[in-house]
Amino acid sequence: MQQWNETVGRWVVGWFLTAILVLHPASGWAAQREGPEPDKVTSQAQDRDKVLTLDDAVRLAVENHPRIKAANQKVGAQEAVVRQELGAYYPTIAMENAYRNTLSSGTVTTSQHSFDFLSSRANFDMVLYNFGKREGTVQSARNTLDASVNNFRTAEDEIILAVKEAYYGYLQAQALVKVREETVKDRELLVRQAQGFYEVGTRPRIDVARAESNLFNARAELIAAQNAVRVAWVTLKNAMGVPDFPEQPLAEERTITPVPVTLPQAKETAFSIRPELKGFEAQRQAQDQKIAVARRNHLPDILFHADYGRQNGNRDASLFPLQPVWTVQLRLTIPIFDGFRTTHKIEEELRNYYSVRAQEEEKKQQIALEVEQSYLKLVEGQERIKATEAAVRAAKENLDLATGRYQVGVGSIIEITEAQTLYTDAQTNNIRTLYDYKIAEARLTKAIGSP
């Protein structure tokens, strides 16, 4: 009998080791996302003389922005959830040691004298089959991982768009400063001309006063434009996620390209590749699996249990040596009644599924609106650029004529100051229209799903 016990004990232990070796997860289960590197900005980026291109700004944002890092960590967390759920395919092994001093010597008998009980055993438990509950839970976790990956891509797209908007905003602010500087120079020249004409008696004092007033207004507008550049740079640094990034020149981005697609094509492309919609699709699939798992909770579980150890269980025997004990058990658990928990769990998952579908439909409508607004803004921008360029040419010609008339004593101070204001406004409108177009182009690209 003792030989039989030892044989069974060796068989159980060997079965334990074999199961561990066979079921141990491979180290290359999935490509692990590299942990976030410490925040760093290359020495080239720190060089103030280096021109910062739009691609460089986008790269810095993708590498450094906290929101992207947070989304990346959520993906990593969900990968860990998937591995947790895969643990249901593996056994649980535990060591159990117990010591007690008791009067009980069995289930019904007691003794007048207490005796020591000592037990040490290894337990092995494993779910052999549970009618798809384990598989559904794992697949649900994988679908949720897909949704997390698409949420990460959504965060990337939104940060890239914010960088482009801030980049073009900075270029616009710089261009407006140049216009204001040119306006100040023109009005300083006009003050000198008016002063000269006044000194020789060909113009009244009011011309000088009006020219000086216009000059001071132009200087105030220049100060505001210069401050707008500083604000735009702070906005760009924030969009890149690098608050200590030194200011440096940006590469000009004034290329005007025709609208690449038609509006129906843009919507169709957006519906097929926008990561938000792919994320909702993955969430629906995850909910499908959760519903299936909830329904399968009505089905039984087939469980395997084995243990092997040593103990003393006889009060008449000495404490040592301990006697070998083992158990092998196959158990079928059939749910009969659980207080309607499973029924209500199914209802919960169904309602969550319909909630995801409604959110998906809402997002689809928002994407359609976003695409259409960006597309129409882009088309409008193309026409406005042509109109404002023509306005700049006409305003420049008007300024040249007014300047000539004033210099020969034919024109008035009001005529030339109005001409200067008209030219400044025309240049300002043209610059704003140009960068509004670039921002609309970036928004359409993001709305389509390819930032």
**Largest Cα–Cα distance in the chain?**
135
Cα gap 420→428, rounded to integer Å: 12
Residue at 367 is within a domain: yes
**Residue 222 shares a structural domain with residue 283:** yes
Span between the terminal Cα atoms of the chain, in Å: 75
Structural tokens at position 259: 């609208």
Residue at 373 is within a domain: yes
Cα gap 277→367, rounded to integer Å: 9
* Cα 311–Cα 317–Cα 321 angle in degrees, nearest 5: 50
- Residue 134 near residue 127 (C-beta atoms within 8 A): yes
pLDDT the model gives residue 409:
82
Residue at 346 is within a domain: yes
**Residue 181 shares a structural domain with residue 139:** yes
Cα gap 329→335, rounded to integer Å: 19
**Residue 125 shares a structural domain with residue 194:** no
Q: Is 443 helix (H, G, I), strand (E, B) or coil?
A: helix
Structural tokens at position 198: 């006044």
**Residue 304 shares a structural domain with residue 380:** no
Residue at 28 is within a domain: no
Identify the sign of the CA torsion 310, 311, 316, 317.
positive
For residue 245, report the phi and psi dihedrals to the nearest 5 degrees. Answer: -70, 130
Residue at 41 is within a domain: no
Tell me, what CATH number does 18's domain have? 2.20.200
**Residue 151 shares a structural domain with residue 114:** no
**Prediction pTM value:** 0.81
Among the residues of 297-412, which ranges form H helices?
341-407
pLDDT the model gives residue 35:
45
Cα gap 135→288, rounded to integer Å: 13
Structural tokens at position 216: 């001071």
What total of structural domains would you count in the chain? 2
Tell me, what CATH number does 380's domain have? 1.20.1600.10
Pick from 309, 334, 359: which residue ends a domain? 334
**Residue 203 shares a structural domain with residue 317:** no
Cα gap 121→93, rounded to integer Å: 11
Q: Is 324 helix (H, G, I), strand (E, B) or coil?
A: strand
Neighbours of 391 (CB within 10 A): 19
**Residue 124 shares a structural domain with residue 140:** no
**Residue 106 shares a structural domain with residue 138:** no
Structural tokens at position 232: 């735009």
Give one DSSP letter per residue of 224-246, joined into a string. Answer: HHHHHHHHHHHHHHHHHT-TTPP
pLDDT the model gives residue 203:
86
Closest CA to 212 of 190, 180, 235: 190
**Residue 18 shares a structural domain with residue 144:** no
Residue at 306 is within a domain: yes
- What is the per-residue pLDDT across 259-289, written as a single tens digit (0 to 9) for each? 878 999 999 999 999 999 999 999 999 999 9
Residue numbers of the chain with a pLDDT score lower than 70: 1-49, 102-115, 313-319, 451
Q: What range does the domain containing 234 cover?
A: 51-90+131-299+341-448
**Residue 252 shares a structural domain with residue 188:** yes
State how far Cα 336 lies from the chain centre: 45
Give one DSSP letter per residue of 103-143, joined into a string. Answer: EE-SSS-EEEEEEEEEEEEEEEEEEEE-TTHHHHHHHHHHH
pLDDT the model gives residue 56:
94
**Residue 292 shares a structural domain with residue 357:** yes
Residue at 43 is within a domain: no
**Residue 316 shares a structural domain with residue 411:** no
Cα gap 233→248, rounded to integer Å: 9
Closest CA to 348 of 299, 300, 297: 297
For residue 248, report the phi and psi dihedrals to the nearest 5 degrees. Answer: -150, 160
Residue at 143 is within a domain: yes
Pick from 314, 334, 354: which residue ends a domain? 334
